[in-house]
């Protein structure tokens, strides 16, 4: 068991002989093949996931489904995705092979797409929607766990930036390609989605299981026997920043999720002929910015800490809401949507990174990721309902202002309550590998 700085100090005060520190924990050295496999796995998973979302509504509408039936299917899928976040994370923490879990989840997502394409009947589509939502609850934590197990905490920041870059490129290319395929056949979108699971699984196969440390992947102590008492996650020094982080992100998503759909409605009323093209630009252009700056975000988080980047990511959302409320030129609105790319880059890196900081050496990284995911999903679920109600009763301009105020509340929570979580030791090679992290410091002091 590593000896903490407080233990050393206590023994020195007691006049006892100082015990030598344990051997340096070996830093991970993943092969080029594994790292390239991880790159392309994120790219193709983003491709596969892009086939869902708005394409479902278009496809089912073309198949003569009523809007009520479409709404029920989408709502049930969203509910499963919300309720499955914490169980999904707990499952990934419990299983011995994150790579196997990821492979099964990708196969289920691809199979769900194939069901949509082949059997567009109510029972089959409802079942496929549930399967897709459940698999996604496991797939996200599994991908984060593979990343952490492969590169360790010391390499996590920069690796997450690279992951976000490949996912953003995959999203942008897939959105464009599937838009073109959908112009020919809405059904073909889901066939292409199912086919894309093959290169995703091939990329996953290049990630060597032997290079994924099973304890490190769960946020545990590398090269140590598994010790994962759940009580370690409930320590105030860990639980408090996790809950502040999750609650702030719930406010962020409560403000963020409805902004683009609401702006789409506004654009349709102002310029119906160009609305689809403008919305497409609003989706693709921020992804290009995410791909461009995500690696910088990862490096910056490693060098200077997480908190200032969190403040940046939260600060651009209220600005975006105010701009949407006061700007009436459609082309300028697309430019304002670039701010979403800044938030996307920051949070694509920092959500798993901050959770990894807070849960370091607990063995419950993926469960905590599920807790944060549940809060984020709850905010996203309520966002469109809230924005729609305000817009219908008070106008879209007021709705954007309300969303901006909610976003500002999330920013205030981060500013006033969220501590810096970057560990004092920067990697597993530190001779003080057993000393407490920033998240553990309050407990170490006691």
> pLDDT tens digit string along 310-343?
999 999 999 999 998 988 777 777 778 888 899 9
Closest to 201 (Cα-Cα) out of 109, 95, 118, 96:
109
Between these two residues, 24 and 329, which has the higher pLDDT value? 329
Buried b / exposed e across 72-106, counting CB within 10 Å, b at 16+? ebbeebeebbbebbbebbbbbbebeebbebbbbbb
Q: Quick one: pLDDT at residue 247?
A: 96
Give the angle 334-295-163 at the CA atoms, nearest 5°.
90
In this predicted structure, the answer to whether residue 231 has a pLDDT above a threshold of 70 is no
Whole-number pLDDT of residue 18: 36
pLDDT at residue number 445: 35
Per-residue pLDDT band for 284 (boundaries 50, 70, 90) equals confident
Mean pLDDT of 394-410: 94
Residue ranges per structural domain of the chain? 31-217, 231-424+435-446
For the 231-424+435-446 domain, the top CATH level (class) is mainly alpha
pLDDT at 285: 81
Q: Express as a percent the part of the chain with pLDDT over 70.
A: 82
Q: Inform me whether the pLDDT recorded for 39 exceeds 90.
A: yes
The span from the CA of 94 to the CA of 83, in Å, is 18
pLDDT at 246: 95
**What band does 277 get if pLDDT is binned at 50, 70 and 90?**
low
**pLDDT in the model for residue 238:** 82
- CATH class entry, domain 31-217: mainly alpha
Closest CA to 197 of 98, 114, 106: 106
* Whether pLDDT at 446 is above 60: no
User: Which carries the bigger pLDDT value, residue 149 or residue 186?
Assistant: 149
Q: Euclidean distance between the first and final Cα of the chain, in Å?
A: 19
Give the residue-averaged pLDDT of 247-271.
83
Residue 17 makes CB contacts below 8 A (sequence gap 6+) with: 11
| pLDDT at 441 exceeding the cut of 50 | no
Same fold, 31-217 and 231-424+435-446: yes
User: What is the Cα–Cα distance from 310 to 318, expressed in whole angstroms?
Assistant: 14
- The DSSP string of 190-239 is HHHHHHTHHHHHHHHHTS-GGGS-HHHHTT--TTS-----GGGGGSHHHH
pLDDT band at 77 (very low <50, low <70, confident <90, very high): confident
Percent of the chain with pLDDT over 90: 43
DSSP state of 92: H
List Cα–Cα distances, 350 to 7, 305, 306, 354, 358, in angstroms. 31, 10, 7, 6, 12
Choice among 10-14, 208-212, 257-261, 371-375 with the minimum mean pLDDT: 10-14
| pLDDT at residue 257 is higher than 50 | yes
**pLDDT for position 115:** 92
Radius of gyration of the chain measured on its C-alpha atoms: 23
pLDDT of the residue at 14: 40
Q: What is residue 160's predicted lDDT score, i.e. its pLDDT?
A: 93
């Amino acid at each position: 068991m590593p000896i903490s700085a407080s233990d050393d100090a206590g023994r020195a005060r007691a006049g006892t002989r100082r015990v030598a520190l344990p051997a340096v924990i070996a830093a991970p050295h993943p092969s080029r093949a594994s790292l390239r496999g991880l790159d392309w796995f994120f790219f193709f998973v983003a491709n596969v996931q892009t086939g869902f979302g708005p394409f479902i509504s278009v496809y089912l509408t073309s198949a003569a489904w009523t809007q009520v039936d479409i709404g029920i299917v989408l709502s049930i899928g969203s509910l499963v995705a919300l309720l499955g976040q914490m169980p999904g994370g707990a499952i990934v923490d419990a299983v011995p092979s994150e790579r196997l879990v990821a492979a099964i989840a990708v196969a289920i997502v691809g199979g769900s797409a194939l069901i949509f394409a082949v059997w567009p009947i109510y029972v089959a589509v409802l079942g496929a929607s549930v399967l897709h939502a459940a698999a996604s609850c496991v797939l996200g934590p599994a991908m984060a766990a593979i990343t952490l197990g492969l590169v360790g905490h010391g390499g996590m920041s920069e690796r997450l930036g690279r992951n976000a870059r490949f996912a953003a490129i995959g999203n942008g290319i897939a959105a464009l390609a599937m838009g073109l395929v959908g112009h020919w056949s809405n059904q073909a979108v889901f066939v292409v989605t199912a086919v894309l699971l093959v290169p995703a699984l091939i990329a996953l196969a290049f990630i060597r299981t032997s290079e994924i440390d099973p304890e490190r992947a769960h946020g545990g102590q590398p090269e140590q026997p598994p010790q994962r008492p759940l009580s370690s996650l409930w320590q105030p020094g860990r639980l408090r920043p996790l809950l502040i982080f999750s609650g702030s992100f719930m406010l962020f998503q409560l403000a963020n999720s409805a902004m683009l759909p609401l702006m789409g409605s506004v654009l349709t009323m102002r310029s119906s002929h160009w609305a689809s093209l403008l919305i497409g630009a609003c989706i693709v252009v921020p992804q290009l910015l995410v791909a461009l700056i995500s690696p910088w975000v990862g490096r910056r988080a490693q060098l200077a800490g997480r908190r200032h980047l969190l403040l940046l990511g939260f600060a651009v959302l209220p600005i975006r809401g105010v701009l949407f409320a006061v700007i009436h030129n459609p082309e300028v609105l697309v430019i304002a949507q670039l701010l979403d790319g800044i938030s996307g880059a920051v949070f694509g890196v920092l959500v798993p990174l901050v959770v990894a900081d807070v849960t370091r050496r607990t063995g419950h990284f993926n469960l905590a990721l599920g807790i944060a995911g549940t809060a984020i999903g709850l905010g996203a679920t309520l966002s469109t309902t809230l924005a729609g109600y305000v817009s219908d009763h008070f106008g879209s301009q007021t709705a954007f202002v309300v969303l901006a105020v909610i976003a500002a509340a999330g920013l205030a929570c981060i500013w006033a309550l969220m501590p810096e979580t970057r560990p004092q030791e920067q990697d597993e090679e530190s001779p003080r590998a057993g000393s407490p992290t920033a998240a553990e410091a309050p407990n170490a002091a006691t």
